[in-house]
Amino acid sequence: MSLQAHPVGHAGPVRDPVISLRGISKSFGAVRALDAVDLDIFRGEVVAIVGDNGAGKSTLVKILAGVHPQDSGTISFDGSEVSIPSPAESRTLGLATVFQDLALCDNLDVVSNLFLGREMGGLTLDEEEMEKRSWELLQQLSAKIPSVRTAVASLSGGQRQTVAIARSLIGEPSVVILDEPTAALGVAQTAEVLNLIERLRERGLGVVLISHNMADVQAVADRVAVLRLGRNNGDFMVADVSYEDIIAAITGASDNAVTRRASAQATGSRADGGRNPEEGLRP
């Protein structure tokens, strides 16, 4: 398998990306975090962004989230060039970002967290209406939350991630960006979050999944975009690419100790049919 980029979306019907990044560069002082990066995001598709520490994944997310402006390059939304100067503008465009820290208020219940800081067209929803909408939303996501009046502090890691993702849907986005949503989760909770990601895709959303865990990527992503040292280093349909090819693109080497160890672990985890907790590139 070649490490060169595929024509994006080559396996599916012809469609237009909802978001299209072209030649995105961003430096922090002398550090070139992103160097001429291209990325397309399609509706109804999960695209995983993978890469080693420092590859530029979070910087790319922050540009889409309106946290940092790019130094150069263009962002198009449904074919029209846009700028994303602020988080508010990112949300207005229809991009919802769930950052790794989730930013939930532990002492508040699920309903309050879902609607925190939201003003619906200048109107505040009453409690009853918010509770009803919370249940509807969580049901659509097949979320396993015992009660919407539970304080978020008493929920499991997977349930908290679910609440954070559900909250991102209140603004009816076209794209949801998840930064390492399973990094802190055990096996069962990870499965719950991966199911949730499938629900998002079924709803026709574009999903961007930042992940270090190749088992998760291969379980749920349709496409994987590899960043290495701030540059594109491969864009693959997951169905067409092996674990070893993804790792080789991440490390920039097809035969070194890291690649060999990683592929040995992959073989081990396939043999026992389970999830290898050490399979990620870092603990």
Binding positions for ligand ADP, rule: CB under 6 A: 28, 31, 33, 51, 53-59
First-to-last alpha carbon distance for the chain, in angstroms, is 28
Half-sphere exposure of 278 (CA within 13 A, CB side): 9
Among Mg ion, ligand ADP, none, partner that 55 touches (CB below 5 to 8 angstroms by kind): ligand ADP
Q: What is the DSSP string of 15-49?
A: ---SEEEEEEEEEETTEEEEEEEEEEE-TT-EEEE
User: Is residue 155 a contact partner of residue 144, using CB atoms and an 8 Å limit?
Assistant: no
Extended strands (E) in the chain? 19-28, 31-41, 46-50, 72-77, 80-82, 95-98, 175-179, 206-210, 223-228, 231-237
Query: Residue type at 8?
Result: V
Closer to Mg ion by CB, 111 or 210: give it. Answer: 210
* Separation of alpha carbons 118 and 135, rounded Å: 17
Closer to ligand ADP by CB, 54 or 157: give it. Answer: 54
Sites for Mg ion among residues 105-164 (CB under 5 A): none
Residue reference for tokens 């930013």: 103
Closer to Mg ion by CB, 57 or 167: give it. Answer: 57
Closer to ligand ADP by CB, 9 or 56: give it. Answer: 56
Sites for Mg ion among residues 195-254 (CB under 5 A): none
User: Is residue 190 a contact partner of residue 158, using CB atoms and an 8 Å limit?
Assistant: yes
Residue closest to 244 by CA, chosen among 231, 262, 225: 262
Among ligand ADP, Mg ion, none, partner that 120 touches (CB below 5 to 8 angstroms by kind): none
Closer to ligand ADP by CB, 37 or 155: give it. Answer: 37
In the bound complex, what is the minimum distance in angstroms from residue 141's beta carbon to ligand ADP?
Answer: 26
Residue closest to 148 by CA, chosen among 192, 97, 108: 108
By beta-carbon distance, which residue lies closest to Mg ion? Answer: 58
Among ligand ADP, Mg ion, none, partner that 80 touches (CB below 5 to 8 angstroms by kind): none
Alpha-helical (H) ranges within 75-140 are: 87-93, 110-115, 127-140
Q: x/- binding map, residues 46-85, to Mg ion, per CB under 5 A?
A: -----------xx---------------------------
Closer to Mg ion by CB, 169 or 185: give it. Answer: 185
Among Mg ion, ligand ADP, none, partner that 2 touches (CB below 5 to 8 angstroms by kind): none
Contact between 168 and Mg ion by CB under 5 A: the answer reads no
In the bound complex, what is the minimum distance in angstroms from residue 223's beta carbon to ligand ADP?
Answer: 18
Among Mg ion, ligand ADP, none, partner that 56 touches (CB below 5 to 8 angstroms by kind): ligand ADP
Closer to ligand ADP by CB, 201 or 212: give it. Answer: 212
The tokens for 146 are 């015992």
In the bound complex, what is the minimum distance in angstroms from residue 64's beta carbon to ligand ADP?
Answer: 12
Among ligand ADP, Mg ion, none, partner that 53 touches (CB below 5 to 8 angstroms by kind): ligand ADP
Q: Which residues bind Mg ion (CB under 5 A)?
A: 57-58
